Amino acid sequence: MQQTVAVRVVLSLLALGLSGCKATQPSKPETAVATWVKLHVTVGGKKDVNPVHADAAAIADGKQLFGSYCMVCHGLDGQNTGVPFAATISPPVPSLASAQVQAYSDGQLKWIIKNGLYPSGMPPSTGDFSDDDMWRMVVYIRHLPPKGSLGEPAVYGGK
């Protein structure tokens, strides 16, 4: 009898503990702390300087490179246009035009492209692009077109 009561108590505590495991959106303070940590601690490359000059050719090159890989999650315009899951996954895919993303230094953006950003879902692209290609993508991210101006990626029904 005592063993049965003990088992029930343990199972009840376990059930109570598991009920507290429900995932919820982070609060504003939690988001602020996570953003600060990424900007100042976990994301490398802060002092790396982009050797690619931001001219029309570099922006066009970056756009083409971005469109070959990044558009699946970020849309052609870097602002999630036409990406059906961008807002529904956790964490949501950020708009690359957002203040949070644009706050990164060029070196940090290149570092994120190269190494990914765990656990956000941002995969590393090491081996897929040269350093010069990644710098050109950073130039494009700094010069994104207006949201929606490039339409949806073909993979999602766009032209």
Q: Distance (Å, rounded) from C-alpha 44 to C-alpha 112? A: 8
**Tens of pLDDT, residues 77-113:** 999 999 999 999 888 999 999 999 999 999 999 999 9
Q: How many domains does the chain have?
A: 1
Question: Does some domain include residue 11?
Answer: no
pTM > 0.85: yes or no: no
What CA–CA distances, in Å, run from 135 to 65, 111, 141, 146, 150? 10, 10, 10, 21, 22
Name the residue with tokens 């050719």. 57
Exposure on the CB side of residue 41, measured as CA atoms within 13 A = 6
Q: Which structural domain range is residue 90 located in? A: 44-156
Q: Hey, what are 151's tokens?
A: 């339409």
Pair 125, 115: CB distance under 8 Å: no
Question: Does some domain include residue 98?
Answer: yes
Domain of 119, CATH number, reads 1.10.760.10
**Tens of pLDDT, residues 114-133:** 999 887 889 999 899 999 99
